[in-house]
Amino acid sequence: MMQVPRGCADVLPGEIELWQYIEDRARDICRRYNYAEIRTPIFEHTELFHRGVGETTDIVEKETYTFTDRGGRSLTLRPEGTASTVRSYVENKMYGSPQQPTKLYYIGPMFRYERPQAGRMRQFTQFGIEAIGSSDPAIDAETIALAMRFYGELGLKNLHVELNSLGDAESRAAHREALVKHFTPHIEGFCADCQSRLHRNPLRILDCKRDADKPQMKTAPVILDYLNAESAAYFDAVKKRLDLLGIHYEVNAHLVRGLDYYTHTAFEIMEQGIGAVSTICGGGRYNGLVEEVGGQDMPGIGFAMSIERVLLALKTQGIELPVEQSIDCYVIGLGEQADEKAFELLDKIRTAGLSADKDYQGRKMKAQLKSADRLQARAVVIIGEDELSRGVAVVKNMANGEQQEIVFDDVIQTLTHITQIGR
Ligand code: ATP
Ligand code: MG
């Protein structure tokens, strides 16, 4: 038997309704915050991710799906959405639009070669937003607020925001020097990745999962002690705006994000109960990225979360989403001619905007009524030979069991009435 590839999953009817509901809520909140959707290709030139995610990240070092196409180009299935969004922003000169910052969101599949577990897939779907072209601390707060409102509207509770600042280039350079000094005498005891990161990007050592328990991790110099005055003021301004919106956060001086290009604000939103992977959203400011991808020096900020982890959080908290799984109407025709009439009527019902179905298996009346039940039909329309000859149909309101004979021309009106009050 053929099986779905490891770390991938089919989303089937029954579960897909939850995905659609969550995606609809994402689109709706983006509309309210004035973010427009962008769809970029699933694969990009490999080079984009090397530049835009960073050579020293786990994503690029170990997790990419990279292949050579028949024309000899190296392409990579996108592992995240920011690099592609920024590439498109530069390529399409969105910085030239009078409306700034450029506010974009995406929902789509991402690919990482990971060790699969709950909430960690090889193909997963991210919802992310990016605001490019502003370094107003209010937009940092808005980014976090949008994510938290989104979760709140889904019914999620007890999430917490962890916040840090990675500072500007000057602050990061000072911190980097301190990190190299701190780790150099002990680096022998660290994993090979950390050893190679020591001079390339020592900040990434702090994000290492293998060496997380080493004593030197806890005593490592923290970036907050190295922020210059400007970066510290920026961080304070972000915090003040989060306070204005009533968003609680904890400063976590040890929070560093997996991607190389982050500056200033970095944050994660956590749900403690979902197991080993408690982060449901990660984001931050990336003031160096646009230039790295070949554009002008433009600030940016965004977040990404996967629908998989949102679902995990919802499940953990026992939240049932109000998803629609019923159908408006089920039409039954008994006997060949009545069945033809049923088929015709079905088409009219659908044209009128109602959802409806009938039997295509030649089943008996009882089995058809069972189908109607299974589909949670709000109304059932029955046409027998006798009704056919009199030009009427029996319309049954499934909510209260009432049934009436209705002339064919009035069936849709009756159905509309029943299904409207049934909602
Ligand atoms: P982690 O430390 O859990 O590996 P990360 O730092 O790699 O996370 P990001 O690259 O910041 O994660 O991705 C942002 C969000 O995307 C995560 O907070 C999570 O919701 C989701 N995500 C990342 N990797 C996966 C995956 N393999 N499967 C499902 N969701 C994922
Ligand atoms: Mg990861």
Q: Which of the residue ranges 12-16, 190-194, 271-275 has the most confident prediction, judged by mean pLDDT?
A: 12-16
Tell whether 368 and 290 lie within a shared domain. Answer: no
Residue 183 has pLDDT above 70, yes or no: yes
Q: Are residues 151 and 116 in the same domain?
A: yes
- How does residue 276 score in pLDDT terms, banded at 50, 70 and 90? low
CATH assignment of the domain containing 388: 3.40.50.800
Angle of helix 411-422 relative to helix 336-351, nearest 10 degrees, comes to 60
Does residue 187 fall inside a structural domain? no
**Nearest atom, ligand 1, residue 304 CA:** 14
Report the number of distinct structural domains present in the chain. Answer: 2
* Predicted local distance difference test score (pLDDT) of residue 199: 87
Is 209 within a domain? no
Question: 259: CA distance to ligand 2 center in Å?
Answer: 10
Nearest Cα neighbor of 159 from 312, 16, 323, 27 is 312
Per-residue pLDDT averaged across 160-185, rounded? 94
Mention every residue, 6+ apart, whose C-beta is less than 8 A from residue 4. 10
For 78-82, 254-258, 273-277, 279-283, which range has the lowest pLDDT when averaged over its residues?
Answer: 273-277
Q: Are 104 and 253 in a shared domain? A: yes
Residue 418 alpha carbon to ligand 1 centre in Å: 46
Characterize 204-228 residue by residue with b for buried, 16 or more Cβ atoms within 10 angstroms of its Cβ, and e for exposed: bbbbbeebeebeeeeebbbbbebbe
> Do 385 and 296 share a structural domain?
no
Pick the atom of ligand 1 nearest to 209's CA.
2
Q: Considering 288, 316, 344, which residue would you say is the last residue of a domain?
A: 316
Residues 298 and 391 in one domain: no
Mutation pick for ligand 1 pocket among 57, 126, 144, 269 (CB with most ligand atoms within 8 Å): 126
> What's the CA-to-centroid distance between 273 and ligand 1, angstroms?
16
Segment 290-319 mean pLDDT: 95
Rounded to an integer, the average pLDDT of 290-302 is 94
Cite the DSSP H helix spans in 92-168. Answer: 137-154
Which atom of ligand 1 approaches the CA of 309 most closely?
Answer: 20
Averaged confidence pLDDT in the chain:
94
DSSP-derived secondary structure letter, 397 = E
Question: By alpha-carbon position, which residue is closest to atom 28 of ligand 1?
Answer: 120
Q: Compute the C-alpha angle 273/274/278, nearest 5°.
A: 95
Looking up residue 279, the CATH number of its domain turns out to be 3.30.930.10
| Of residues 271 and 274, more confidently modeled | 271
Concatenated DSSP letters of 332-393: EE-SHHHHHHHHHHHHHHHHTT--EEE--S---HHHHHHHHHHTT-SEEEEE-HHHHHHTEE
Ligand 1 nearest atom to the CA of residue 277, by list position: 3
Ligand 1, atom 12: closest residue by C-alpha: 282
Residue 131 pLDDT level (bands cut at 50, 70, 90): very high
CB 266 within 8 Å of CB 165? yes
Q: Do 51 and 116 belong to one domain?
A: yes
For residue 112, give the ligand 1 atom closest to its CA.
Answer: 27
Boundary-marking domain end, from 264, 290, 316: 316
Q: By percentage, how much of the chain surpasses pLDDT 90?
A: 87
Confidence at residue 18, expressed as pLDDT on a 0 to 100 scale: 98
- Span 105-116, average pLDDT: 97
Residue 236 is predicted with a pLDDT of 98
Ligand nearest to the CA of 277: 1
At 423 the pLDDT is: 60
Pocket test for ligand 1, best of 62, 306, 311 (most atoms within 8 A of CB): 306
Confidence check: pLDDT of 140 > 80: yes
**What does the pLDDT read at residue 258?**
64
Residue 196, domain member (yes or no) = no
> For residue 244, what is the DSSP state?
H
- In this prediction, residue 27 has a pLDDT band, given cuts at 50, 70 and 90, of very high
Of 284, 316, 348, the domain-final residue: 316
Q: If you measure from the C-alpha of residue 59 to the centroid of ligand 2, how many angstroms do you get, rounded to a whole number? A: 7
**How far does residue 337's CA lie from ligand 2's centre (Å)?**
61
Domain that holds residue 358: 329-422
Q: What distance in angstroms lies between residue 306's CA and the mean position of ligand 1's atoms?
A: 7
Nearest ligand 1 atom, CA 116: 27
Q: What SS3 state is found at 234?
A: helix
Ligand (nearest to CA of 112): 1
Q: How confident is the model at residue 121 (pLDDT cuts 50, 70, 90)?
A: very high
Residue 260 has pLDDT above 90, yes or no: no
Q: Which residues line ligand 1 (CB under 6 A)?
A: 80, 112, 114, 119-121, 124, 126, 258, 277, 279-282, 304-306, 308-309
Region 284-296: what's the mean pLDDT? 92
Q: Name the maximum alpha-carbon separation found in the chain.
A: 95
Question: Does residue 23 sit in the same domain as residue 118?
Answer: yes
**Whether 147 and 254 share a structural domain:** yes
Could you tell me the two tokens for 264? Answer: 């200033």
Claim to verify: residue 247 and residue 394 sit in the same structural domain:
no
Take atom 6 of ligand 1 and give the residue whose Cα is closest: 258
Going by C-alpha positions, the residue among 78, 17, 72, 71 that lies closest to residue 42 is: 78
How far is it, in rounded angstroms, from Cα 339 to Cα 382?
10
Mean per-residue pLDDT for 160-189? 94
CA distances from 241 to 15, 139, 142, 287, 417 (A): 38, 9, 9, 20, 49
Atom 9 of ligand 1, residue of closest alpha carbon: 282
Nearest residue by C-alpha to atom 18 in ligand 1: 281
> Are residue 153 and residue 281 in the same domain, yes or no?
yes
Single out the residue of 285, 278, 375, 299 nearest to residue 331, CA to CA.
Answer: 375
**Average pLDDT in the 13-17 region?**
95
Tokens of residue 391, six digits: 């030009």
Residue 72 included in any domain:
yes
Q: Is residue 1 part of a domain?
A: no
| Segment 29-76, tens digit of pLDDT | 999 999 999 999 999 999 999 999 888 888 998 999 999 999 999 999
Ligand 1, atom 22: nearest CA belongs to which residue? 306
Question: Domain for residue 95, yes or no?
Answer: yes
Distance separating alpha carbons of residues 26 and 127, to the nearest angstrom:
8
Q: Are residue 240 and residue 371 in the same domain, yes or no? A: no
Least confident stretch, 26-40, 106-120, 260-274: 260-274
Q: What is the pLDDT of residue 181?
A: 95
For residue 206, is it within any domain? no
How many angstroms from the chain centroid is the CA of residue 131?
16
pLDDT at 275 over 80: no
What residue's CA is closest to ligand 1, atom 16? 305
Find the ligand nearest to 255 CA. Answer: 1
pLDDT band at 313; cut points 50, 70, 90: very high
pLDDT of residue 204: 85
Q: What is the pLDDT of residues 341-393, one digit of tens each?
A: 999 999 999 999 999 999 999 999 999 999 999 999 999 999 999 999 999 99
Structure confidence at residue 208 (pLDDT): 86
Same-domain status, 352 and 311: no
Q: Which of 39-43, 120-124, 204-208 has the lowest average pLDDT?
A: 204-208
Give domain status of residue 219, yes or no: no
Beta bridge partners of 123: 111
CB 153: neighbour CB atoms within 10 A? 12
